[in-house]
Amino acid sequence: MKIAVLVMALGSALLLLSLAQEGKSEGIRMSREMGEMKDASSPYAGAAYSISQQGRGVEDGVDGVDNGASPDPTLVVLEEVKYAGSGCGHGAVKGVLSNDAKSLTPIPDDTDVKIVAKSGPGASLSDSRKNCHYSVVMTHPAGWSYALASAEFDGSVDLEGGATGIQDAYYYFQGVGKNCAVLPISMDGPRTEKFQTGNKTFEEPLCWSPCDNERYLQINVAARVRGRGVRGVLSIEKQKFFLKWRKCSDDETA
């Protein structure tokens, strides 16, 4: 029995270490692939828009977004959310799934996990780029597939003139090569305020979970502050992701 307990403890420790390393590497890849947005093949190449241009999205449904049909929500279970990254440390929480199974909040409001990036005197390059990587374990009825259709973020900024805060995110399913990104949100100083991004959609086509096998949902959220020698702070404090469901075809489940 003692050996089995030790093996389980070692396995959990190795998983958290793996998530921490993945979160770090995802943050690096985020800054390379999305940070400067130089990939001309991306539909969002060179794109970022001001927080002042945000809309609230489709005001319909339990959580403000109507994403169509879904399986019996009582059979959809958000088992666990593991998190790791330069902006959030590492750990595991239960996470929150809405009653209609159409939105998930990876980090509950009562959990003190914030992603804070800063620039200016005394701040290093690593201080200016912070990320948090979530590994989501969710079970649902067979014959259904889901994607993250959109997301909304709450936080705060304290930016001097010349500083810019940028918040972005992407997700994918473990073992599936495609990433789906949300359009980066840019906030220019001088500015000191709380912000709500509203409901921001992910790029099309959406990344759908495999029909033939349940996979971990991987989400990466990043905060960056740019401004040579200029003080700035961007804090991402709340995150919610909206799910879209679809029925799998017979070929996909065979």
Count of other CB atoms within 10 angstroms of residue 63 = 19
CA distance 97 to 101: 6
pLDDT at 183: 72
The pLDDT of residue 110 is above 90: no
pLDDT tens for each residue of 56-72: 333 333 344 556 678 88
Query: What residues does each domain of the chain span?
Result: 12-253
Please report which helix (H) or strand (E) contains residue 106, including its range. none
Q: Where are the beta strands (DSSP E) in the chain?
A: 49-50, 77-85, 89-93, 96-97, 103-105, 115-119, 129-139, 144-159, 164-173, 180-188, 191-196, 200-201, 217-226, 232-247
pLDDT tens for each residue of 219-237: 999 999 998 889 999 999 9
Q: Supply the mean pLDDT for the chain.
A: 75
pLDDT at 66: 54
**pTM for the model:** 0.73
The pLDDT of residue 103 is above 70: yes
pLDDT at 16: 43
pLDDT tens for each residue of 127-176: 999 999 999 989 999 999 999 999 999 999 999 999 999 998 999 998 88
Q: Could you give the percent of the chain with pLDDT greater than 70?
A: 71
Q: Could you give the percent of the chain with pLDDT greater than 90?
A: 45
CA distance 65 to 30: 27
Q: For residue 134, give both structure tokens.
A: 């979530």
Three-state DSSP at 230 gives: coil
Residue showing tokens 């998930």: 104
The residues that bridge with 50 in the sheet, in sequence order, are: 186
Q: What are phi and psi of 92, to 5 degrees?
A: -145, 140
- pLDDT band at residue 115 using 50, 70 and 90 as cut-offs: very high
